[in-house]
């Protein structure tokens, strides 16, 4: 090898590519294995970043002048890292059903423990390798190698990995194939690193061979890892939006989205309720909009002979599976549209006699947008005179528990701002029937008069939906409640409460422990590291905020969301390059960076408040790029203040990662659901003001 430092640099880039791809794939696995709510998404990112931070700190501990970092160790560890991604994925997928009961969902603490333990080896090693690569370079190859350069190279790898996954692998590769494809360059570069001068690195090649075997085995056995507990795996596809699996048991097909059964061919009751409760209110429903659907509902819908049915489903792979397995049957007048339901409704010019929303519970920011004041207003604007709008929430059998009561009350009051009548119907799902006219509750009689046949409603409605049960439910939701809005998603926190209530746990001990650990860390760290911590916090917080706001305004557009994520990483690169050249005026530059971040966020909030829907998509990309630019810019500056030695490198890397971890968690599950978008922005600005004050203190600790 002519230039070993170039080889190590390539290794750092390859590590970035492999690790970001592995991270994104792990997030998808987590969503399929556990509850896919915002809490779990934040937990994965938090765990990943926190373990990375710990790994970074550990690199400092294991390296000393007596025990210098070695190129051969770096090569070996990098090879194992490439293989570990496959092992992690297999373990994540398979051990779940060994540790937990197959078919059962899992509460907060078991989820936290499982995620924390399964991703620990990989994310720890990723965090470890970054500073270790620098120590190798400085120790035996190029003393004085700039730490900021490693940061830039790592970011280059991260951007490439994110883009590779979001725009290539997600379309063409299964998860095992993706981690293998993203990991192969890393393995190749690591295996090709120069070895001991006296002999060829046979051991490393052996390790590479073994890792390759593990990779091949992973890809070959991928489908086996998805075998269901009952029935046969009839269909499996990883779409851009998640995992779609169809399990065939005898005559019944069940479609699972991210591990949760969402459609089956035999749920007659749900199909009838979803369709007939709203449509029977109308004399002749002619134009109908379905935002997502339920198994068998088109068959029920056809009984009304509508002229036009627009069926909007975000994921084309979903409708493809639905029609292929008879979960939905084509009917005359059906128009399929694969796009975000809210974006469709905002763009469409026609009005509908009925709009039926059949979405899962609003436990993510993406779904919450369909249950807000603004969305209900949009629906009203698109309903014809006398039209009907319906949606549903999870039901209860005999007792409405407090969190669910608050949730229903919030939805009731939000809908009641736009519709004169909001009638709730109890059952396995609770249906909201909203319109400006009255709602007739004698469904069986109305169906009979119209000559529409039904199985469930005809036989069971009178017993299950007694006047007493309907009255009880509608009285209980009159509880005072503030509306759920786009930028103040209050419903999300009730969803979290419900989730915790189901498992009889509380997140308070976790957050208390986290607060103590962070306080201890922040009190012991340097000022420059604190600035980086707050920047990491703010960058991740801003990224979540931007994605949240973007979805509200433009809908869930996969390509553009992927672009925002990529831009947030891409901005780091030029930022770090600039920062490395301005390190001579470190303190002033660091303060200027903080000031710039504050200005960015103030500008973002102001623009959102004043222009809202009129903002172009490019605005979000520019904002993301700017925030990332400043974040990247501050890193080399802080490193320069810290002195740039080995210990400082670990400390600054760790501060950035731990800040990002805390920012992800706190913004997603505390700030946005509890304080709304603008107060979240204010909190992030507040954090940066503290950081500015810290930088402003005359003597920055070296």
Partner 1 sequence: MTINRRRFLYYSSVALGGSVCLGLPMCFAGNPLVAAGPDDIRGRVLRGDAPKRRWKWSREALHYRRLEDDRTQCLICPNRCTLSPGDRSVCRSKVNLEGTLYTLAYGNPCAVHNDPVEKKPLYHFRPQTKVFSLATTGCNFRCLNCQNWEISQARPEDVRFFELFPAEAVDAAAARGSVAIAYTYSEAITYYEYMRDTARLARARGLQNLLISNGYINREALEDLCDVLDGANINLKAFSDGIYRKLNGGTLQPVLETFKTLHRRGVHFEITTLVVPGYVDDDAMTRAMCDWILDKLGPDHPLHFTRFVPRYKLNRLPPTPVSTLERCREIALKAGLHYVYVGNVPLHAANHTYCHQCGRRVVERLGYHIPGYHLEDGACKFCGTAIPGRWDA
Range 52-91, binding partner 1 (CB under 8 A): 83, 86-87, 90-91
Length of the chain: 702
Name which of 634, 593, 600, 633 is nearest 619 in CA terms: 600
CB of 627 to partner 1, least distance (A): 38
Q: CB-wise, 460 or 510, nearer to partner 1? A: 460
Residues with Cβ within 8 Å of 67's Cβ and at least 6 positions away in sequence, in order, are none
Q: CB-wise, 230 or 610, nearer to partner 1? A: 230
Dihedral angle sign, alpha carbons of residues 617, 618, 622, 628: positive
Q: Which of 31, 162, 207, 411 binds partner 1 (CB under 8 A)?
A: 207
Q: Which of 1, 117, 206, 445 binds partner 1 (CB under 8 A)?
A: 206
Q: CB-wise, 176 or 344, nearer to partner 1? A: 176
d(CA 515, CA 509): 10
CB of 397 to partner 1, least distance (A): 5
Q: What angle do CA 638, 641, 642 make, to 5 degrees?
A: 90
State the binding string over 357-376 for partner 1 (x if CB under 8 A, else -): --------------------
CB of 454 to partner 1, least distance (A): 9
Q: CB-wise, 161 or 259, nearer to partner 1? A: 259
Q: Which of 3, 64, 140, 252 binds partner 1 (CB under 8 A)?
A: 252
The residue range among 225-233, 304-312, 320-328, 583-591 that interacts with partner 1, by the rule CB under 8 A, is 225-233
Residues with Cβ within 8 Å of 620's Cβ and at least 6 positions away in sequence, in order, are 546, 549, 550, 564
Using DSSP's 3-state secondary structure scheme, residue 144 falls into coil
Q: CB-wise, 426 or 579, nearer to partner 1? A: 426
The residue range among 193-201, 320-328, 568-576, 691-699 that interacts with partner 1, by the rule CB under 8 A, is 193-201
Range 492-531, binding partner 1 (CB under 8 A): 502-504
Characterize the bridge pairing of strands 287-291 and 260-264: unpaired
Supply 4's token pair: 């070993």
d(CA 468, CA 482): 27
The secondary structure of residue 315, as a DSSP letter, is -
Range 457-496, binding partner 1 (CB under 8 A): 458-464, 466, 468-469
Q: Which of 65, 399, 475, 699 binds partner 1 (CB under 8 A)?
A: 399
Q: Which of 141, 268, 336, 596 binds partner 1 (CB under 8 A)?
A: 268
User: How many other C-beta atoms can be found within 10 angstroms of the C-beta atom of residue 508?
Assistant: 9
Decide if residue 97 touches partner 1 (CB under 8 A). Answer: yes
Using DSSP's 3-state secondary structure scheme, residue 427 falls into coil
d(CA 530, CA 689): 12
Q: Which of 227, 324, 420, 449 binds partner 1 (CB under 8 A)?
A: 227
Using DSSP's 3-state secondary structure scheme, residue 107 falls into coil
The residue range among 64-72, 128-136, 146-154, 223-231 that interacts with partner 1, by the rule CB under 8 A, is 223-231
Q: CB-wise, 86 or 687, nearer to partner 1? A: 86
Characterize the bridge pairing of strands 260-264 and 252-257: antiparallel
Q: In what order do the strands lie in the sheet with 421-425?
A: 334-337, 308-312, 287-291, 352-357, 383-394, 429-435, 421-425
State the binding string over 274-313 for partner 1 (x if CB under 8 A, else -): ----------------------------------------
């Amino acid at each position: 090898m002519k230039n070993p430092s170039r080889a190590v640099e390539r290794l750092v880039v390859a590590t970035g590519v492999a690790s970001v791809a592995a991270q994104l794939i792990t997030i998808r696995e987590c969503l399929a294995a556990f509850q896919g709510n915002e809490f779990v998404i934040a937990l994965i990112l938090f765990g990943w970043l926190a373990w990375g931070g710990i790994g970074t700190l550990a690199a400092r501990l294991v390296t000393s002048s007596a025990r210098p970092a070695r190129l051969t160790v770096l090569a070996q560890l990098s090879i194992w890292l490439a293989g570990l991604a496959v092992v992690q994925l297999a373990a994540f997928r398979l051990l779940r059903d060994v540790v937990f009961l197959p078919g059962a969902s899992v509460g907060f603490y078991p989820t936290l423990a499982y995620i924390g333990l399964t991703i620990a080896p990989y994310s720890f090693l990723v965090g470890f390798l970054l500073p270790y690569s620098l120590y190798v370079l400085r120790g035996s190859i190029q003393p004085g190698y700039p730490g900021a350069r490693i940061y830039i190279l790592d970011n280059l790898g991260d951007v490439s990995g994110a883009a590779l996954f979001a725009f290539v692998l997600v379309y063409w590769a299964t998860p095992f194939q993706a981690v293998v494809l993203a990991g192969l360059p890393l393995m190749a570069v690591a295996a090709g690193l120069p070895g001991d001068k006296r002999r060829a690195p046979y051991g490393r090649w052996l390790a590479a061979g073994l890792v390759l075997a593990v990779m091949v085995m992973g890809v070959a056995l991928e489908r086996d890892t998805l075998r269901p507990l009952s029935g046969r795996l009839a269909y499996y596809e990883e779409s851009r939006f998640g995992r779609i699996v169809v399990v065939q048991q005898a005559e019944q097909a069940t479609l699972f989205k991210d591990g949760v059964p969402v459609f089956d061919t035999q749920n007659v009751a749900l199909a009838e309720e979803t369709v007939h409760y709203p449509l029977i209110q109308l004399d002749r429903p002619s134009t109908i909009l379905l935002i997502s659907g339920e198994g068998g509902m088109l068959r029920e819908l056809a009984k009304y002979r509508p002229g036009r049915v627009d069926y909007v489903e975000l994921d084309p792979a979903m409708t493809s599976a639905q029609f292929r397995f008879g979960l939905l049957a084509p009917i005359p007048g059906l128009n399929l549209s694969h796009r975000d339901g809210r974006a469709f409704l905002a763009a469409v010019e026609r009005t509908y006699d009925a709009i039926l929303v059949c979405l899962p519970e609003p436990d993510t920011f993406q779904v919450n947008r369909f249950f807000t004041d603004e969305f209900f207003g949009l629906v009203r604007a698109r309903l014809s005179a006398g039209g009907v709008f319906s949606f549903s929430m999870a039901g209860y059998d005999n007792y409405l528990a407090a969190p669910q009561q608050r949730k229903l009350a919030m939805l009731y009051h939000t809908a009641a701002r736009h519709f004169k009548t909001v009638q709730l119907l109890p059952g396995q799902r609770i249906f909201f029937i909203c319109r400006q006219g009255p709602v007739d509750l004698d469904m069986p009689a109305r169906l009979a008069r119209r000559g529409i046949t039904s199985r469930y409603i005809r036989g069971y409605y009178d017993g299950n939906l007694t006047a007493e049960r309907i009255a009880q439910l509608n009285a209980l939701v009159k509880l005072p409640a503030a509306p759920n809005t786009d930028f103040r998603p209050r419903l999300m926190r009730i969803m979290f409460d419900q989730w915790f209530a189901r498992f009889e746990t509380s997140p308070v001990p976790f957050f208390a422990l986290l607060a103590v650990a962070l306080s201890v860390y922040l009190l012991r760290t340097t000022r420059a590291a604190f600035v980086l911590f707050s920047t990491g916090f703010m960058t991740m917080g801003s990224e979540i905020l931007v994605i949240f706001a973007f979805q509200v305004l433009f809908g869930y557009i996969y390509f553009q969301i992927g672009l925002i994520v990529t831009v947030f990483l891409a901005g780091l690169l030029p930022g770090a390059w600039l920062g490395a050249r301005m390190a001579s005026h470190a303190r002033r530059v660091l303060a200027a960076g903080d000031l710039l971040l504050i200005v960015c966020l103030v500008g973002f909030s102001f623009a959102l408040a004043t222009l809202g829907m009129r903002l172009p998509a490019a605005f979000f990309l520019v904002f993301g790029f700017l925030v990332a630019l400043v974040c990247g810019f501050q890193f080399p500056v802080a490193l320069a203040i810290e002195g740039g030695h080995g210990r400082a490198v670990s400390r600054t890397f760790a501060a950035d990662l731990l800040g990002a971890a805390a920012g992800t968690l706190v913004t997603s599950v505390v700030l946005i659901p509890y304080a709304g978008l603008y107060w979240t922005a204010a909190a992030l600005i507040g954090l940066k003001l503290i950081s500015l004050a810290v930088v402003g203190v005359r003597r920055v600790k070296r």
